[in-house]
Amino acid sequence: MRKLIFSVLTALACTIQIASAETQVLTLDSCRALAIRNNNDLKMSSVKKQKAYYDRKAAFTKFLPRITATGAYILSSKDISLLSEETQDKLNNLGTNAGAAMGQSLQQSTQQMTQQAMQQVMQNPELMQQMMQNPQLMQQMMQMPEKINGLTQNVTNGFNQTVAPKLNAIGGEIVDEFDIDNTNIGVISVMLTQPIYMGGKIAAYHNIMKKVEQLTNAQAVGKENDVIVETDEAYWRIVGLESKKRLAQSYLRTIDTLNKDVEKLIDAGFATKADGLKVRVKLNEAKVSVIQVENGITLSKMLLCQICGLDMNSDIQLADANIDADGFVVPETTAAANIDEAIKSRHEMQSLALAKEISEEKVKIARSEYLPTVALMGGYTTTNPSAFDGIKNEFGGMWNVGVVVKVPVVTCGERIFKVRAAKEEAKIAEYQYDEAKEKITLQVNQNTQKVAEASQRLHTAKESLKEAQENLRYAEVGMKEGMIPVSDVLQAETALLKAQSTAIEADIDLLLADLYLKKSLGKIQNAH
């Protein structure tokens, strides 16, 4: 039995712990922190801030030198030759052609010499008579052309065997020297470019990126302020509904007690059935009011959970949910508004001021199109085949350094129109700034007036609440003594409920009005 009781108590304790763990108590500050941490717009703003930071860093690199490396490989179907095919053939057969020409020349020379000798013999009778008388000499004379031809052929053959191959090799080398092997071409180039003067374009672009970064920061602050205001509105709406729920429940209990008292009075003959019907109608209205307030609280909590990034079905409880009209403490409202400080503090004005400065930098960029640009260039290029020491199939390269100057001459008025367009854009930004200044001035004055009105309304609501409480006390005493009808008591109860609800609404309206004033002054972080 003891074990059973102990098990039951343990299970109850665990159930209570689980239930308490599931209920999450949230303060206004914790709701703000959750909303800021989980809001998607703020997450995007954070990413935009990082992007603007990197854009500014990238803009600064425009001041620095750039080094680029380029490599290329080309496969060609044919080689390039500086000599024609006929010339290549002559050079490749230089020795053979020379041998043939020499043999032909020697043969022609031998024939001429032989013919001349024969003519001289024929023209000299004495020599002719001696040769006729000497058959051996005649025979030698007749064999002389053959011997000379043999000697010529031996000389030619010797030339073709020894000198001609060497001449052919020399001719082939000459052909090879004039033949460029471009079947496989490789190029490697490393270049350095350092801007010296770009007409102020780089500096203006860098300034724009710095101001864009500041602009994203200001916009992020504005979005954070909007999230805080939205969170506060949802939070205090629930607090007000919780107070109204307690009032409605208290009113329901009071009407229920009154219903029982009236039934006793009807039985005693001091009240009529019509009085009983009136009370029961009010009782049903009170039940409906409780249901409506509970539904409103459920929907408002779902909205707050969505704003805070929680599951919409989460069981949450607000730390200020039990504050009633008497215990509600409104913080001191903002002192007299300073319009000049508001204009300086508002993120919208900061954004518009930065937009003005950005448009002015754009004018500088447009004007830079008029100005010359100067850049220093240098690099190293190597190719294969190379032609620095003859044409060779190997990598050969060279250094080069130079200055590039670009001067715009005629653009048919394009630059003038661009500058004018940029100036008009700057004027638009200036007009937007002035318009926003006027709207903020009006907004601050309106919110200041609303705070004053909310303060007066709260004071009046507190006075009305005291009067309604006193009126109900007199009505209850008079009904018990039979001097005041039940309808008067019902009216007093209704008046008290309305006065309490009005007081709570006035408390929250004053708090939110002060919050809106702080937002218009750019001091939302100090709210609450």
The predicted model gives 78-101 an average pLDDT of 69
Task: Tell me the pLDDT tens digit for each residue of 393-423.
Answer: 778 888 889 998 988 887 777 778 888 888 8
- Between 91 and 318, residue with greater pLDDT: 318
Q: Has residue 61 got a pLDDT over 50?
A: yes
Q: Has residue 212 got a pLDDT over 80?
A: yes
Gyration radius (Cα) of the chain, Å:
55
Range in 9-18, 48-57, 132-141 with the lowest mean pLDDT: 9-18
Query: What are the residue boundaries of the structural domains of the chain, listed by start?
Result: 22-66+198-369+408-526, 83-179
Range in 83-87, 345-349, 518-522 with the lowest mean pLDDT: 83-87
Q: What pLDDT, on the 0 to 100 scale, is given for residue 139?
A: 64
The predicted model gives 8-12 an average pLDDT of 40
Please tell me what DSSP assigns to residue 332: P
Q: What pLDDT, on the 0 to 100 scale, is given for residue 526?
A: 40
Q: What pLDDT, on the 0 to 100 scale, is given for residue 5?
A: 38
Q: What pLDDT, on the 0 to 100 scale, is given for residue 21?
A: 46
Whether 52 and 212 have beta carbons less than 8 Å apart is answered as yes
Q: What pLDDT, on the 0 to 100 scale, is given for residue 444?
A: 86
Range in 166-180, 236-250, 351-365, 496-510 with the lowest mean pLDDT: 166-180
Task: Tell me the pLDDT tens digit for each residue of 63-89.
Answer: 999 999 999 888 877 776 666 777 767
Q: What pLDDT, on the 0 to 100 scale, is given for residue 462?
A: 85
Q: What pLDDT, on the 0 to 100 scale, is given for residue 467?
A: 87
The predicted model gives 280-297 an average pLDDT of 89
Query: Which uninterrupted H or E stretch holds 25?
Result: strand 24-26
Q: Could you tell me the pLDDT band of residue 348, with boundaries at 50, 70 and 90?
A: confident
Range in 221-225, 300-304, 324-328, 512-516 with the lowest mean pLDDT: 324-328
Q: What pLDDT, on the 0 to 100 scale, is given for residue 54?
A: 92
* Owner of token pair 């109204």: 244
Range in 82-96, 441-455, 483-497 with the lowest mean pLDDT: 82-96
The predicted model gives 253-259 an average pLDDT of 81
Whether 94 and 167 have beta carbons less than 8 Å apart is answered as yes
Q: Has residue 294 got a pLDDT over 80?
A: yes
Q: Could you tell me the pLDDT band of residue 14, with boundaries at 50, 70 and 90?
A: very low
In 50-143, which ranges are E strands?
Answer: 66-75, 80-81
Q: What pLDDT, on the 0 to 100 scale, is given for residue 142?
A: 64
Give the tokens for residue 26: 């949230």
- Phi/psi of residue 379, nearest 5 degrees: 180, -175
Distance between CA atoms of 5 and 368, rounded to whole angstroms?
90
22-66+198-369+408-526 CATH fold: Outer membrane efflux proteins (OEP) (1.20.1600)
Residue 439: closest CA among 348, 337, 512: 348
Counting beta carbons within 10 angstroms of the beta carbon of residue 68, is it exposed (0 to 12), middle (13 to 18) or buried (19 or more)? exposed
Give the tokens for residue 385: 């085949």
- Between 27 and 483, residue with greater pLDDT: 27
Distance between CA atoms of 428 and 448, rounded to whole angstroms?
30
Angle at which helix 125-133 crosses helix 94-123, to 10 degrees, equals: 90
189 beta partners: 70, 381
Q: List Cβ<8 Å contacts ≥24 apart for 480-488.
A: 482/270, 485/275, 486/258, 486/262, 486/265, 486/271, 486/275, 486/278, 486/279, 487/275, 487/278
Q: What pLDDT, on the 0 to 100 scale, is given for residue 492?
A: 81
Q: What pLDDT, on the 0 to 100 scale, is given for residue 17?
A: 41
Q: What pLDDT, on the 0 to 100 scale, is given for residue 134?
A: 66
* Owner of token pair 């969505």: 306
- Cβ neighbours for 496, distance < 8 A, ≥ 6 positions apart: 465, 468, 469, 471, 472
Asked whether the bond before 165 is cis by omega within 30 degrees of 0, the reply is: no
Q: Has residue 6 got a pLDDT over 60?
A: no
Q: Has residue 335 got a pLDDT over 70?
A: no
Query: Which uninterrupted H or E stretch holds 277?
Result: helix 273-308
Mean pLDDT computed over every residue of the chain = 79
Q: What pLDDT, on the 0 to 100 scale, is given for residue 374?
A: 92
Distance between CA atoms of 271 and 280, rounded to whole angstroms?
14
Cα–Cα distances (Å) from 246 to 240, 291, 321, 470, in that order, read 10, 12, 10, 20
- Calculate what percentage of the chain has a pLDDT beyond 90: 10
Amino acid at the residue 123: Q
